[in-house]
Structure formats: C-alpha cells, structure tokens
Structure 1
Amino acid sequence: MRRPKFRGFSKVINSWHYGHGWFEIDYTEEYLLEKGIEKQAMLYTEAYPIECELKSMGEYTGLKDKHGTEIFEGDIIYWEINNGVGIESYTAVVKWSENLVKEGWNQTYKWLVGYTGNYYRGSYDELSTPAAYNDELQVIGNIYENPELLEGTA
C-alpha cells in the first residue's frame, strides 16, 4: 500500500511543498483578518512542517499524466479522444468524491473529474474514465494557480 502524499502552496516561500500528512490550523477569524491571510494548513514534509494555503491542499491520486507528472486533487487535466467522427477535447478538475456531498457523490469515495468545458460542464465522472486515455491525458494547471483555465470554457 502506498503512503499518502499531499501538496500545498506556501505564500511565504512562494512554492509548492510535498508531504505525507497535514491538518487545518485553527486560527481565529480575527487573527486571519489581522494578518491579512486566508485559512492555513500545516503540511508535514520529510524535512519540517510548513504552513500552506488551505485551499491549495491536495492529495496525490496515484496516477501520472502522459509526461509523468503526478496528478493531484485540484489539478486541471486535459485530454482528447477520437470518437470516430472527429476529435473531442475535454477539460476537467480532479476532485475527491467525499468532498462532493451536495452532488450526491459522498458515499462513493472515489477520485472524480468535474468537467469544466464543452457539453459536459458541471457533470462528474470517475477519474478512471479519462485515465483510460493516459497516452493523451495531461495536467495543464491547477485551480489554485490557474483559475483562469476554468473561466470561459462553457
């Protein structure tokens, strides 16, 4: 069994960090306002714990794209398939089903993709669907650093 792997972005150091455990830091709203920061998480790296932006935290899915890039929760992925009539392209965000209670996926505990473009916008599928096209699948960004990739793709 593989050891869980997580990543988080530290604004203090302005870089991504990787570790094997994390927790949300329980700062008061007053402290966050005073410091001008958003909610934070403590990521345990191999060397030391580091404070990261909570909204940047993501778990490794165990999959890699066609370039060997590890795919994490919050990554934006892209792939194309030839449907026999032409080329269809897809863009989606990697999500963990347990975090999608209102969408009805909370009892499945699976890696999902939330489609952001074309006809399927707003719908979900299991990550295994695009992973079947692994020779085409590529990470093109993430929701933390590249939110613009999610805009205007209807």
Structure 2
Amino acid sequence: MREIKFRGKRIDNGEWVYGYLVKQFGVFKIYDDSSEDFGNWIHEVDPETVGQYTGLHDKNGREIYEGDILRLWRSVGSNGELRREHYKPLPVTYCNIWCQFVANDESTKNQYCIWSDFGAFEVVGNVYQNPELMKESD
C-alpha cells in the first residue's frame, strides 16, 4: 500500500516534522505519529513549507518530498557508476496534468518523470532551506 505522509516546518521552532497533514479552522497541522511524547505530537506548520512524500527514495535511501531539490543522472553504468549528469538541480513538484511528482525545469518548461526519465537521483536540499541551489542553476 502507498504511504501517504507530509512534512512541514514547525511554526514554533522551525524544525521539520513528518506525519499526517490536517487543515483545521484555517490552520495547518501535522500529526507526528512517530513521536513517543503523546502530549507533543500535533504541530502547527507553515503552509508554504508543506510537501507530500512522493513514495520514492533517492540513491542514498532518503525519502523524496515535494519541494526537494534533486541532482539527476540520466544513466547508471553496469558497475553502478553514475553517468551523464543532468546539467542542473531541479525541484520536485506535483504535475496535475500527469498526476505524478516530477522534476520541474522552469527555464525550459520541461517536466521529467523522476522514476522513469533518470537512472539515479539524489536529494541535495529543498527550496525552503536552500533557495541558492535554484539560483545557481539558472
């Protein structure tokens, strides 16, 4: 079964929290079901930082979320070496037309299927904490 979860930056301390997203009375909250502190498992988050888990992992086993910035390789050699690196890092967005998460290249208006267009990918940051990665790629 597909795992549906979200992440967002907490309003109170700026830390990332992961879990179930709820919008209640106009306020976005994430229920952190991994927390063992039951008195502190509901956190208000900045709605601008909320991103959904894509269901994919990068080459290092890290979960990929909407808003992450990926470094991409077109192919992987027979010995596992990464070849033909894509020319710039791209952010992960959701494409309503394709109904899937994509690596979005605003400058060329191209959208790439993460899981089929690339042999390997690595999370190098996210658009909220590392916006300079996107400026460097322009």
- What TM-score does the superposition give when structure 1 sets the normalisation length? 0.70
In the superposition, relative to structure 1, how do residues 121 and 13 fare at CA in structure 2: closer, same or farther (>3 Å)?
A: same
In the superposition, relative to structure 1, how do residues 152 and 3 fare at CA in structure 2: closer, same or farther (>3 Å)?
A: closer
Residue 23 of structure 1 and its aligned partner are, at CA, apart by 2.0
1:25 and 1:42 in contact (8 A); partners too: no
Residue 127 of structure 1 and its aligned partner are, at CA, apart by 2.1
**Aligned residue for 1:33?**
none
Answering whether residue 115 of structure 2 is matched by residue 111 of structure 1, we say no
Number of aligned residue pairs: 125
Gaps of 5+ in 1: 27-39, 99-104
The structure carrying a bigger strand percent of its residues is 2
**Aligned residue for 1:4?**
4
In the superposition, relative to structure 1, how do residues 25 and 53 fare at CA in structure 2: closer, same or farther (>3 Å)?
A: farther
Q: Report the aligned-residue RMSD.
A: 2.4
Distance 2:44 2:70 in 1: 26
Distance 2:24 2:114 in 1: 26
1:60 and 1:72 in contact (8 A); partners too: yes
Structure 2 matches for 1:64-83, cutoff 5 A? 64-81=57-74
Distance 2:57 2:69 in 1: 13
Distance 1:68 1:25 in 2: 36
For each residue in 1:36-75, what CA deviation from the matched residue of structure 2 results, as whole angstroms up to 9, or x when unmatched?
xxxx521122142211111110111111111111000110
Gaps of 5+ in 2: 76-82
Structure 2 matches for 1:39-58, cutoff 5 A? 41-46=28-33, 47=38, 48-58=41-51
- What TM-score does the superposition give when structure 2 sets the normalisation length? 0.77
Distance 2:110 2:24 in 1: 29
**Aligned residue for 1:122?**
109
3-state SS of 1:20 partner: strand
**Aligned residue for 2:21?**
21
Distance 1:95 1:25 in 2: 26
**Aligned residue for 1:36?**
none
In the superposition, relative to structure 1, how do residues 110 and 87 fare at CA in structure 2: closer, same or farther (>3 Å)?
A: closer
For each residue in 1:18-48, what CA deviation from the matched residue of structure 2 results, as whole angstroms up to 9, or x when unmatched?
012322752xxxxxxxxxxxxx521122142
3-state SS of 1:148 partner: helix
Among candidates 124, 133, 142, match of residue 126 of structure 2: 142
Among candidates 94, 97, 104, match of residue 96 of structure 1: 94
1:3 and 1:20 in contact (8 A); partners too: no
